[in-house]
Amino acid sequence: MTLTIYGCYRSRATRNVWLANELGLAYQHVPVIQVYRLPDPNAADAPMHTRSPEFLKVNPNGRIPAIDDDGFILNESLAINLYLARKHGGPLAPKDAQEEGLATMWALWAATECETHALNLTYHLAAYPPEKRDPAVAAAALAALPSPFAVLDQQLAQGGGYVMGGRFTVADINVGEVIRYAKPAQQLFDAAPNVKAWLDALHARPAFQKMWAARDSEAA
């Protein structure tokens, strides 16, 4: 069994590393970096990056993360988690066709209803230097996210505190890693107390904390 996860920690690879930790999977980690973070991607000593020819053979989209699982190559971080959960089974995985449908639905919901806006909150409220922050972009995200946060809050209230199936699953990891990007906007979480409690509980999990410690030790 050889699983390789491509992608530095400061990327969506965190969600795959967290899931691998939850499942207790052994894996090799190749910290491919986003090309835009390198001053000179063509320098002889540049690390492997998202436009490196050898990485484009893994993912022709030039995106991280991607995995190579014994020769089977897959990209799209949320699809990678669904694949690994299904393959290794157990309570994290969808248990039947309906849960398969729900897990896929929530992955697409997170990616299309939340992720762009949530990332914009990370960038324009926290990560970017002040001169690069655009208040209009942050305001648009703050206007868009209360509606999906309310939907998730309702699901968590009705679903025993979980996204699907009344238990911790891959759907919590996939949705949680997207919602995490909105953390710089505390007001969203104050208005959705079930989302706040759920995300806090996710982040207290040892498998998340192990991933987060590795992320913190990665060069910024």
Which residue has tokens 């868009």? 144
Span of 39-47, 71-79, 128-136, 191-199 interacting with its own copies by CB under 8 A: 71-79
End-to-end CA distance of the chain: 31
Q: Is 195 in the site for its own copies (CB under 8 A)?
A: no
Nearer to its own copies, 33 or 67 (CB): 67
**β-pair type (28-30, 3-6):** parallel
CB of 103 to its own copies, least distance (A): 9
Q: Is 13 in the site for its own copies (CB under 8 A)?
A: no
CB of 216 to its own copies, least distance (A): 27
Write the interaction track for its own copies spanning residues 83-102; mark x where CB under 8 A is met and - where it is not. Answer: x--xx---------xx-xxx
Q: Is 112 in the site for its own copies (CB under 8 A)?
A: yes
Q: Is 65 in the site for its own copies (CB under 8 A)?
A: no
Q: Is 61 in the site for its own copies (CB under 8 A)?
A: yes
**Cα–Cα nearest to 69, from 113, 117, 3, 5:** 3
Q: Is 118 in the site for its own copies (CB under 8 A)?
A: no
Q: Is 75 in the site for its own copies (CB under 8 A)?
A: yes
CB of 17 closer than 8 Å to CB of 207: no
Which residues pair with residue 4 across a beta bridge?
28, 68
Torsion of CA 119, 122, 124, 130, to 10 degrees: -150
CB of 12 to its own copies, least distance (A): 11
CB of 213 to its own copies, least distance (A): 28
- CA 39, 44, 47: angle at the middle one, nearest 5? 60
Q: Is 143 in the site for its own copies (CB under 8 A)?
A: no
Write the interaction track for its own copies spanning residues 16-55; mark x where CB under 8 A is met and - where it is not. Answer: ----------------------------------------
Sequence-separated (6 or more) residues with CB below 8 Å from residue 158: none
Which residue has tokens 């209803």? 113
Q: Which two tokens stand for residue 151?
A: 């939907």
**β-pair type (72-75, 66-69):** antiparallel
- CA 185, 63, 209: angle at the middle one, nearest 5? 50
Q: Is 209 in the site for its own copies (CB under 8 A)?
A: no
Instruction: List interacting residues with its own copies (CB under 8 A).
Output: 60-62, 72, 74-76, 78-80, 82-83, 86-87, 97-98, 100-102, 104-105, 107-109, 111-113, 115, 147-148, 150-151, 154
